Amino acid sequence: MQPDYQTVNPANVDVSIQNRVLRNTYMLLGITMVPTILGALIGTHMDFSWAMGSRWLFPLVFLGVAWGLIFAINATRNSPVSVVLLLALTGFMGWALGPILTFALHLANGTEIIMLAAGGTGIIFLTLAGIATTSKRDFSFMGKFLFVGLILVFAAMIANIFLQIPMFSLAISGVAILLFSGYILYDVSRIVHGGETNYVMATLSLYLDIYNLFVHLLNILMAVLGDRR
């Protein structure tokens, strides 16, 4: 999932504005981790059996609520309300991690795998964000390719709801890791080069990149390293 972007002419954006947007984005991004962690803790202590009986129920609930909040954030992007909605979204996204985290925690080494996925996600984000920030190269050219990739990955995930092929799921996660790594480069580059001047929307984009990166990395690590004893 990625929000809609508004076109901004980088030539019309002052460097001080870019730096302020980047600073505020990273600060708000750190804050969003609090409701995410709290939501995840709640999710791991909830019974999701109501959703497991149907292949469609949980994905529909997730997408409906998530897209509704993303639309609301975009609509209020220039209002303080958008920050409240963003924190609500991140709390919900944390809660939605409940099923996959619960599955991971039932593995003998589940806690270690979750920490490894979180650490790996952090390392990838910091590395790519650093490259996008310090490099003089503008990665905005990647936008169209990434969007096409996003559509293909989303279609593949929908198809696998019916197919339920484990190897196909791992292949999707492998592609998704590359895709959202590319989105991190793209989204940070947009801020640095003045393509995004709203720090709430910038935070939303990066949060979705990190969230999806973590989920797919966790999926692969559970399949490769999971101890089911």
Write down the pLDDT at residue 9: 47
What's the CA dihedral at 141, 145, 207, 166 to 10 degrees? -160
> Following DSSP, what letter does each residue of 70-113 receive, concatenated?
HHHHHHTTTSTHHHHHHHHHHHHHHHHTHHHHHHHHTSTTHHHH
Distant-in-sequence, close-in-space partners of 26: CB < 8 Å, separation ≥ 6: none
Say how far apart CA 205 and CA 161 lie, in whole Å: 25
Write down the pLDDT at residue 15: 74
Q: Which residue has the tokens 């990665």?
A: 139
* pLDDT by 10s per residue, the chain, length 229: 555 444 444 444 567 778 889 999 999 999 999 999 999 999 999 987 766 666 778 888 899 999 999 999 999 999 999 999 999 999 999 999 999 999 999 999 999 999 999 999 999 999 999 999 998 888 989 999 999 999 999 999 989 888 888 899 999 999 999 999 999 999 999 999 888 899 999 999 999 999 999 999 999 999 999 877 6
Write down the pLDDT at residue 229: 64
Say how far apart CA 157 and CA 32 lie, in whole Å: 26
What's the token pair of residue 141? 């050219």
CB 202 within 8 A of CB 21: yes
How many residues does this entry show for the chain?
Answer: 229
Say how far apart CA 138 and CA 179 lie, in whole Å: 17
CB 10 within 8 A of CB 191: no
H and E: helices and strands count for the chain: 9, 0
Whole-prediction pTM value? 0.90
Amino acid making up residue 174: G
